[in-house]
């Protein structure tokens, strides 16, 4: 199955975010809504930065399935995530955070000078 399947339940401050989505694997999908409606929380769950109860399946690969006890950690999910505010992985040093992003760039395209 191609695309993104999300079936997640996540309690937020004022409501229960209850999502059942099937999105295409190609093209552009926009997620919009008022402030506080759960957009960022949902994206954080897809990225593995936040846990919700349920299933996340991407192009047939299971990233999370609570009933089967599966959870792919954030560093093993092949995606990019741009934070709304400056954030680092707290378990990594600054260099470790930079190296984490560097892994997603082809070897021949990397332009890093660690001596600066």
Domain ranges of the chain: 4-109
CATH of domain 4-109: 3.40.50.300
Please report, for residues 10, 42, 74, the alpha-carbon distance to residue 49 in angstroms, rounded to integers and kept in the order given.
Answer: 13, 10, 6
pLDDT digits (tens, 9 = 90+) for 49-98: 999 999 999 999 999 999 999 999 998 998 877 776 667 788 888 788 88
Counting residues of the chain whose pLDDT is more than 90, the rounded percentage is 48
- Assigned token pair, 98: 């930079």
Edge-to-edge strands of the sheet including 53-58? 16-23, 4-11, 53-58, 61-65, 70-71
Has residue 37 got a pLDDT over 70? yes
Question: Of 15, 21, 14, nearest to 45 (Cα)?
Answer: 21
Instruction: Quote the pLDDT of residue 108.
Output: 83
Instruction: Label residues 42-55 b or e (16+ Cβ within 10 Å = b).
Output: bbbbbbbbeebebb
Instruction: Quote the pLDDT of residue 107.
Output: 82
């Amino acid at each position: 199955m191609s695309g993104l399947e999300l079936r997640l339940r996540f309690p937020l401050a004022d409501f229960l975010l209850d999502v059942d989505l099937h999105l295409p694997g190609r093209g552009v999908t926009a997620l919009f809504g008022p402030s506080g409606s759960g957009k960022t929380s949902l994206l954080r769950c897809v990225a593995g930065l936040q846990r919700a109860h349920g299933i996340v399946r991407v192009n047939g690969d299971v990233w999370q399935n609570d009933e089967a006890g599966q959870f792919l950690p954030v560093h093993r999910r092949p995606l990019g995530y741009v934070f709304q505010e400056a954030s680092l992985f707290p378990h990594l040093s600054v260099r470790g955070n930079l190296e984490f992003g560097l892994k997603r760039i082809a070897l021949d395209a990397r332009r890093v000078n660690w001596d600066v």
